[in-house]
């Protein structure tokens, strides 16, 4: 059983790497087998098809991202702290997995139904404790009357773009990867300050 689990893990790890680099359409089972150091027959034995393997990898990657957000949203924190933690979470997630944002975005365009099936938790992110906190703050006239969905869009748009276009920005600005990430850390604070300053009256 241990050998079986190890082989499956190697295949999934390799699939994640290759899918992130090439996307679903650009990846072949041969690419994954080569990266995992196994033959195609063994890979097909465990996962049957590229489609099933992709669904497994995609579900794991999305769950990692959205579960982290869900954990923050249900914490007993003040609204400002919660927004700051969500921004920090998104930045760290995409900094550590720079291809993840485009990977999810491409799949949303290619097969939006699969995204919702893979990450049912995403359907409930904008509701619950966070939305109640926002409504209470609006009622107390502490924050602007903003739809909770708009807050998530502001956060996602501002945190993902800097990583989606990293290569282009590095080339345009003639900076190293180390310099770029140093800039990104400063930009994260700017985004947090900007969103909180806009929301809170």
Structural domain boundaries of the chain? 1-48, 58-199
Asked if 65 and 159 touch (Cβ cutoff 8 Å), the reply is no
Dist. CA 136–CA 132, nearest whole Å: 6
Q: Regarding the domain with residue range 1-48, which homologous superfamily does it belong to in the CATH classification?
A: Homeodomain-like (1.10.10.60)
Report the SS3 class of residue 177.
Answer: helix
Phi, psi angles (nearest 5°) of residue 176: -80, 170
Residues contacting 74, CB < 8 A, separation 6+: 128, 129
Dist. CA 92–CA 100, nearest whole Å: 12
| Max Cα-Cα span within the chain | 63
pLDDT score recorded for residue 2: 46
Q: Where are the alpha helices (DSSP H) in 48-176?
A: 50-73, 79-96, 100-110, 112-118, 129-139, 148-164, 166-173
Burial 96-115 (b: 16+ CB within 10 A, else e): ebbbbbbbbeebeeebeebb
* N residues, the chain: 201
What residues pair up with 143 in beta bridges, in sequence order? Answer: 200
pLDDT score recorded for residue 112: 74
Element (H, E) at 135: helix 129-139
Domain 58-199: give its CATH code.
1.10.357.10
Q: Say how many C-beta atoms besides its own lie within 10 A of residue 36's C-beta.
A: 21
Residue in 156, 85, 197 with CA at minimum distance from that of residue 148: 156
Q: Is the whole-model pTM more than 0.85? A: no
From first to last of the 201 residues of the chain, give the pLDDT tens digit: 445 558 888 999 999 999 988 888 889 999 999 999 998 888 888 888 898 898 888 888 877 778 888 889 888 999 999 999 999 999 998 888 878 888 888 877 877 776 667 666 566 666 678 889 999 999 999 999 999 999 989 998 899 889 888 999 999 999 999 999 999 999 999 999 999 999 998
pLDDT score recorded for residue 115: 67
């Amino acid at each position: 059983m241990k050998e079986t689990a190890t082989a499956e893990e190697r295949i999934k790890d390799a699939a994640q790497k290759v899918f992130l680099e090439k996307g679903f359409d650009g990846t072949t089972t041969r690419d994954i087998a080569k990266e995992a150091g196994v033959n195609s027959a063994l890979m097909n034995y465990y996962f049957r098809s590229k489609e099933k393997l992709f669904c497994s990898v995609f579900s794991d990657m999305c769950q990692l991202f959205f579960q982290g957000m869900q954990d923050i949203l249900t914490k007993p924190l003040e609204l400002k702290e919660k927004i700051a933690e969500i921004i920090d979470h998104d930045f760290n997630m995409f900094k550590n997995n720079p291809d993840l944002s485009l990977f999810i975005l491409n799949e949303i365009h290619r097969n939006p139904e699969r995204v919702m099936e893979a990450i049912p938790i995403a359907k409930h992110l904008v509701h619950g404790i966070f939305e109640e906190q926002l409504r209470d703050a609006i009622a107390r006239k502490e924050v602007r009357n903003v739809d909770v969905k708009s807050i998530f869009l502001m956060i996602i748009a501002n945190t993902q773009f800097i990583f989606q276009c990293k290569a282009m920005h590095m080339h345009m600005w003639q900076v190293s990867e180390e310099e770029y990430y140093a800039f990104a850390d400063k930009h994260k604070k700017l985004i947090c300050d900007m969103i909180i300053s806009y929301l809170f009256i």
